[in-house]
Structure 1
Amino acid sequence: MEEKANGVHQLKLMTTITNKYPTFRDENLKTAYRWLEGRRHDDGAEGLWRIHDSLYDLTDFVERHPGGRDWIQLTKGTDITEMFETHHITTKAENLLPKFRVREATQPRNVRITFKNDGFYRTLKRRVRDKLPELDKSPIQTSNLIIDSLLGAVFAFAFLAVKYNSYLLAVACALCVNWTVISAHNYFHQKNNWRMRLFNLSFLSYREWRISHAMSHHHYANSLLDLEISYLEPFLCWLPNPEIKGVLQRYGSWIYGPIVYAMICLGELIRRVVETIKTGKSSIFADDLIAFAIPTFMYFVDSSSLLNVLKLWTVVIFVASFAFGLIGLNAAHHQPEIYHSGDKIPDEIDFGVYQIATVIERSDVTGSHLFALTHFGDHCLHHMFPTLDHGILPQLYPIFHQTCNEFETVHRQSSWLRHIIAQHRQLARVEPRTYDPRAKFP
């Protein structure tokens, strides 16, 4: 949005994408379900489902939702605009909406991200919609083959690690667990399927991550609404806020960061156990037992030494967690040139432009199906169209770059090494910056 000052058009800027500071954000125990409860306080959905400025009653549609009931059931009382836009590329869902409409919302949207018909995102989505029938769908089967092969490698290396009492082979097993879990992330964005449950192999939970990642991080990356930012505070603080970032958080995190990486998986289990005890409502489900499939298999291979199995499994869990953190936290989002809440961006920013503002692509995995699937590659397009399999995203780059050129927005890339170095610079940064969508990446 531009304003006129002394006859000159000036871009109006903002430092946060929300009108309200998120309810419950600063509680000591941050959980996915508490985040949803905060949204119910802030979104002006009035106990219904909000999409743009209208309220809908989707109660009768919960069981019929093609993607699974959880997406609808969990979000009652919240604004689901971003999720509705990104999860429905065709017009089928949009055409169904009028029959569920109740009335106009009485409050303006809390999130200042826009979806104008002539804006970047909807222009790109129309082009993707037109392109979908022409896409080669065979890479979807390749994705399935990759994750199935990785799962097989997990148990093959687990067998060998126990058979030869080898910590080196346990590390190999851990790396395969990590890559399997990251690949499973491709599937929990989609309608319910068995591969999404492989995300639970290392004590992570696809149920929790459908909220913290798919509903929170994907739409509001690097903002106050991003649970993947707030979960790791005060240990890792990426937002440029000098009031919460002391010297220890800014520079000590360079040293203890790897310890945080190694604790991500076990830490999530501990957090969910504490949440269950504190709230009296279980955050542990039957499919969480999937995490015990590996040690159980190890024990069947060699039941003579339970202690030895536990030692090898401990190596698997902590190394897998470290690798997950190293890849995930250096995947796309934390360089000083990327927007973080506190920096300045154009007011009422288009959703697609916002995603570009919060991402610098990993250039070293682009173009490889295997590396993209196992290293959170094709990150920007995945944020915009999360339900599309990673394997077919590369076919969208021509129209994506065409749209970037038309809207004078730069899709940026850098190497993984630069991401790692810049992520530590971002941890130390407290000075706000101004994001210019047209600026070339240095």
Structure 2
Amino acid sequence: MVIEKWKECGIATKFPTYRNSPLVTVHSWQKGKRQDDEAEGLWRIHDGIYDFTEFIDKHPGGPFWIRETKGTDITEAFEAHHLTSTPEKMITKYKVRDAAKPRIYTLTLHEDGFYKTLKERVKQQLKTIDKRPKRKSDLIHLGILLSTYLFAVASVKYNSLLALVLAGVALCWTVIVSHNYFHRRDNWQMYTFNLGLMNFCAWRISHAMSHHIYPNSYYDLELSMFEPLLCWVPNPHIKSKALRYVSWITEPLAYAIAFFLQVLTRIYYSLRHTNIMYWHDLLPLTIPLVMYLGSSGSAGLLFCVRQWLAMTSIASFSFCVIGLNAAHHDPEIYHEGDKNREDRDWGLFQVDTIIDRGDLKWSQFLVLTHFGDHVLHHLFPTLDHGLLPALYPVLYETLDQFKGELRECNHIEHMIGQHKQLLRIHSNPRAPGEGK
């Protein structure tokens, strides 16, 4: 009965296989998607089947994106990650046949629809905008990264609680700003994401390929990974009254251990199933090492490790306070089970799953460190955050044309809304754009 109701209002015609896995990981998500996507073991874009095997190592964005998506439908990801017409022309030589079955996803990308229209206007706008803010993003990232190590060393050298807290906040900001980079072609900044015990390769799957493409749906891995501690899907069958209110109590604990759970889950899965660890999973250890060396060994290695773990817990808590209250969870935001708008355009779906942080727009630093300009980032994830403000005129123009709405609120309002969403069990019968 639950699945039947889901089929009527979800973004796909299949209930995702991965959600039936005993342990939900990026690997189980990929495995399930390969079973569900009707990609015939290759790569699917719209209604075509492509064989990119020979192109994996030639991909300008790096081999990871092509290698890890084999066997899946990459239609929306392909459209969102390429802003020029060159890739569309280039892939024609890799097409092997038309797909045997229709796509399982109900979202559309029509040439005259919202997203394609906006994408064309953005492409023209990018030819004229000032590119200097992109350099400013790089400097902000570098400054926060260096601050992380400096405060970490100070916390052990002077046994300073203030320095420890500042180190934790700086680490949190380093991880968030690094997110600006792992959506793009391979670069050195993306590796700094790993300093928070997470891994950019895993997040390229859970965040870029899953959450960014299917936000707030059952195909959004970032919903699954917090369940049952935190459940935002408004479904009374999977969210009991006790669970709803207990989540308010368990929430701070979940925040503080989120980074640790990420790495422990990946280690467990690697030992029990398939290895999903990389050499750069060792990068977080550079922090206690620098702490030890920076204190000339006087602090003691065990003390440095203890301070590092405390610092990471502070960063984890701060990351969740910012990230989980940044854009996606409020009773007014679309979640799986709510009524869909009649226009199934993928870009409008993105807009419907987000309320932006309107209190950040005046500062590029705050936008980078607090997931700001979230709608534009979801629509064009490969663009530097510094370039996004220049795109608002064409976004507003296109939203007006297609009856969309860019909603905004401040962080406190988001936090209140996120807690209300944890309690919500009934689907919204009013589709986005229908009015009150």
1:239 equivalent among 226, 233, 237: 233
In the alignment, which residue of structure 2 is the partner of 1:35? 29
1:346 equivalent among 341, 353, 364: 341
The one-letter amino acid of 1:293's match is T
**Offset from partner CA, 1:377-432 (integer Å, 9 cap, x none):** 10011001000000000000000000001111111001110100110100000010
Using the TM superposition, give the Cα deviation of residue 284 of structure 1 relative to its aligned residue in structure 2, in angstroms. Answer: 1.6
Q: Say which is worse superposed, 187-196 or 104-113, in terms of deviation.
A: 104-113
Using the TM superposition, give the Cα deviation of residue 16 of structure 1 relative to its aligned residue in structure 2, in angstroms. Answer: 0.5
Where in structure 2 are the equivalents of 1:271-350 lying within 5 Å?
Answer: 271-279=265-273, 281-302=274-295, 303-304=297-298, 305-347=300-342, 349-350=344-345
In the alignment, which residue of structure 2 is the partner of 1:26? 20
In the alignment, which residue of structure 1 is the partner of 2:351? 356
Using the TM superposition, give the Cα deviation of residue 307 of structure 1 relative to its aligned residue in structure 2, in angstroms. Answer: 2.8
Q: Separation in 2 of the partners of 1:367 and 1:113?
A: 33
Q: Say which is worse superposed, 99-108 or 214-223, in terms of deviation.
A: 99-108
In the alignment, which residue of structure 1 is the partner of 2:3? none
Preserved contact between residue 410 and residue 439 of structure 1 (Cα < 8 Å) = no
Q: Say which is worse superposed, 347-356 or 416-425, in terms of deviation.
A: 347-356
The one-letter amino acid of 1:266's match is F
Q: Separation in 1 of the partners of 2:351 and 2:32?
A: 26
| 1:175 correspondence with 2:130 | no
Preserved contact between residue 408 and residue 437 of structure 1 (Cα < 8 Å) = no
Preserved contact between residue 334 and residue 432 of structure 2 (Cα < 8 Å) = no
In the alignment, which residue of structure 2 is the partner of 1:424? 419
Q: Separation in 1 of the partners of 2:8 and 2:240?
A: 25
Preserved contact between residue 249 and residue 427 of structure 1 (Cα < 8 Å) = no
Q: Separation in 1 of the partners of 2:294 and 2:364?
A: 33
In the alignment, which residue of structure 2 is the partner of 1:403? 398
Percent identity over the alignment is 47
Q: Per the alignment, in what secondary structure is the counterpart of residue 350 of structure 2?
A: helix
Shift in CA distance, 70/250, structure 1 to aligned 2, threshold 3 Å: same
**Offset from partner CA, 1:167-210 (integer Å, 9 cap, x none):** 22111001000001000000000000000000000101000000
Q: How many residues align?
A: 428
| 1:415 correspondence with 2:394 | no
Q: Separation in 1 of the partners of 2:10 and 2:129?
A: 37
TM-score in terms of structure 1 length: 0.95
Q: Separation in 1 of the partners of 2:276 and 2:342?
A: 38
Preserved contact between residue 337 and residue 435 of structure 1 (Cα < 8 Å) = no
In the alignment, which residue of structure 2 is the partner of 1:9? none
Q: Separation in 2 of the partners of 1:423 and 1:157?
A: 32
Preserved contact between residue 272 and residue 283 of structure 1 (Cα < 8 Å) = yes
TM-score in terms of structure 2 length: 0.96
Where in structure 2 are the equivalents of 1:52-71 lying within 5 Å?
Answer: 52-71=46-65
Preserved contact between residue 200 and residue 290 of structure 1 (Cα < 8 Å) = yes
Using the TM superposition, give the Cα deviation of residue 439 of structure 1 relative to its aligned residue in structure 2, in angstroms. Answer: 5.2
Where in structure 2 are the equivalents of 1:12-411 lying within 5 Å?
Answer: 14-279=8-273, 281-302=274-295, 303-304=297-298, 305-347=300-342, 349-411=344-406
Q: Per the alignment, in what secondary structure is the counterpart of residue 55 of structure 1?
A: strand
Q: Separation in 2 of the partners of 1:404 and 1:137?
A: 25
The one-letter amino acid of 1:181's match is V
Q: Per the alignment, in what secondary structure is the counterpart of residue 44 of structure 2?
A: strand
Using the TM superposition, give the Cα deviation of residue 58 of structure 1 relative to its aligned residue in structure 2, in angstroms. Answer: 0.8
The one-letter amino acid of 1:350's match is D
Q: Separation in 1 of the partners of 2:375 and 2:336?
A: 18
Q: Separation in 2 of the partners of 1:254 and 1:412?
A: 26
Using the TM superposition, give the Cα deviation of residue 435 of structure 1 relative to its aligned residue in structure 2, in angstroms. Answer: 4.5
Q: Separation in 2 of the partners of 1:438 and 1:277?
A: 48
Runs of 5+ consecutive residues of structure 2 not aligned to the other structure:
1-6
Preserved contact between residue 112 and residue 348 of structure 1 (Cα < 8 Å) = no
**Offset from partner CA, 1:94-140 (integer Å, 9 cap, x none):** 11121111111111111111001111000000101111111211111
Q: Separation in 2 of the partners of 1:372 and 1:136?
A: 18
